[in-house]
Amino acid sequence: MVQIKLIALDLDGTLLDSRKRLSSRNESVLKACIRRGIEIVPCTGRIWSAVPEFIRNLSGIRYAITTNGAMVQDIVENRILDERKLSSDLALEILELAKSFHIMYDAYIGGTAFGEARFLDHMDEFGVSAELQKMVRETRRPVPDVIEEVRRQNRQVEKINYFFGNMAERQRAREALLKREDIIVSSSLPNNLEINALGATKGEAILRLAKHLEIQPEQTMGLGDGENDVTMMQMAGISVAMGNSLDILKAEADYVTDTNDEDGVAVAIEKLIFGIED
């Protein structure tokens, strides 16, 4: 069996349960991996500051892949190891396109997520669940106008989010975005779209981090549940889809584990790395 040296973990729908909690079993298994010298790497669409504090404070976590692979960071040294961002001009084009649809949108710049009060005060209108609304309010910096903020800062953008209350609108927006060849379009929720720069995928980021750490691709493991995790399934040495994953993810995975509410992460690691059978 190949010795796994790096485990990349999606958070929402994967490591965290449906109430955004880390179970004691999952936490115990992560700590056991860290004691064995395995790098535990949060691999998320979130910015680092939006990762739950109980994950950020877990002793032994040094590296993180954030905003769908746009950023690969050394958290301990507060150092960016790799970044793949949208230019300011390209980000403005994508945000201007959003005006063609009835959607809520935000932009991530310099590790901060910017949103508008007119959206944040009416998230029900855009299909955002109550649980997610709480997280969004805690992690967005309100500005009068996201587009003007991007224009004012004139900096590269890590990611843009679209949220939809109408699925027909979502499909129309996806079709418009997919006509472009200068962006990556993915999703982590049934009612959102996430726009990143070329090269900003979780799978590619795992390989870039592994190369930095002199770890072979086959010594990596990726666990996820959503569309933005497909590249993890394709590129990690061992790929694990959660029981609650989309079918497209299960089709790409080497192994399908239990759901995020059944400690699926711990189940997979115990079986595939520790050799413990249920």
Query: What's the chain's Rg over C-alpha atoms?
Result: 18
Q: What is the 3-state secondary structure (H, E, C) of 100-166?
A: CCCEEEEEEECCEEEEEHHHHCCHHHHCCCHHHHHHHHHHEEEECCHHHHHHHHCCCECEEEEEECC
Instruction: Note whether 54 and 95 are same-domain residues.
Output: no
Instruction: Note whether 17 and 72 are same-domain residues.
Output: yes
Of the candidates 161, 181, 197, which is a domain's last residue?
197
Domain presence at residue 277: no
Domain presence at residue 204: yes
Q: What is the pLDDT along the chain (278 residues), one digit of tens a residue?
A: 579 999 999 999 999 999 999 999 999 999 999 999 999 999 999 999 999 999 999 999 999 999 999 999 999 999 999 999 999 999 999 999 999 999 999 999 999 999 999 999 999 999 998 888 998 999 999 999 999 999 999 999 999 999 999 999 999 999 999 999 999 999 999 999 999 999 999 999 999 999 999 999 999 999 999 999 999 999 999 999 999 999 999 999 999 999 999 999 999 999 999 988 76
Domain presence at residue 25: yes
**Rounded CA gap, 10 and 265, in Å?**
10
Of the candidates 154, 170, 197, which is a domain's last residue?
197
Domain presence at residue 227: yes
Instruction: Note whether 193 and 106 are same-domain residues.
Output: yes
Instruction: Note whether 100 and 39 are same-domain residues.
Output: no
- CA 129 to each of CA 12, 117, 237: distance values in angstroms, whole numbers, following the listed order: 13, 17, 34
| pTM, rounded to two decimals | 0.95
The number of angstroms, rounded, from the C-alpha of 58 to the middle of its chain's C-alpha atoms is: 18
| pLDDT for position 130 | 87
Instruction: Note whether 193 and 94 are same-domain residues.
Output: yes
Instruction: Note whether 175 and 106 are same-domain residues.
Output: yes
When divided into structural domains, the chain yields a total of 2
CATH of the domain at 215: 3.40.50.1000
Of the candidates 197, 229, 255, which is a domain's last residue?
197
CATH of the domain at 133: 3.30.1240.10
Instruction: Note whether 108 and 78 are same-domain residues.
Output: no
**Rounded CA gap, 14 and 228, in Å?**
12
Domain span holding position 127: 88-197
Strand partners, 255: 240
Instruction: Note whether 239 and 108 are same-domain residues.
Output: no
The number of angstroms, rounded, from the C-alpha of 42 to the middle of its chain's C-alpha atoms is: 9
Instruction: Note whether 56 and 180 are same-domain residues.
Output: no
Question: How many Cβ atoms from other residues are within 10 Å of residue 7's Cβ?
Answer: 27
Domain presence at residue 62: yes
Long-range pairs for 32-39 at CB < 8 Å and ≥24 separation?
32/274, 33/7, 33/269, 33/273, 34/59, 34/60, 34/61, 35/60, 37/5, 38/4, 38/5, 38/6, 38/7, 38/273, 39/5, 39/6, 39/7, 39/63, 39/213, 39/215
**Rounded CA gap, 181 and 59, in Å?**
40
Instruction: Note whether 192 and 106 are same-domain residues.
Output: yes
Instruction: Note whether 133 and 230 are same-domain residues.
Output: no
Its sign, for the CA torsion 196, 163, 260, 40, is positive
Domain presence at residue 34: yes
Instruction: Note whether 171 and 228 are same-domain residues.
Output: no
Domain presence at residue 278: no
- CA 57 to each of CA 27, 76, 87, 89: distance values in angstroms, whole numbers, following the listed order: 12, 11, 32, 36
Domain presence at residue 1: no
**Rounded CA gap, 217 and 237, in Å?**
6
**Rounded CA gap, 265 and 221, in Å?**
11
User: Are β-strands 192-197 and 6-9 bridged in parallel, bridged antiparallel, or unpaired?
Assistant: unpaired
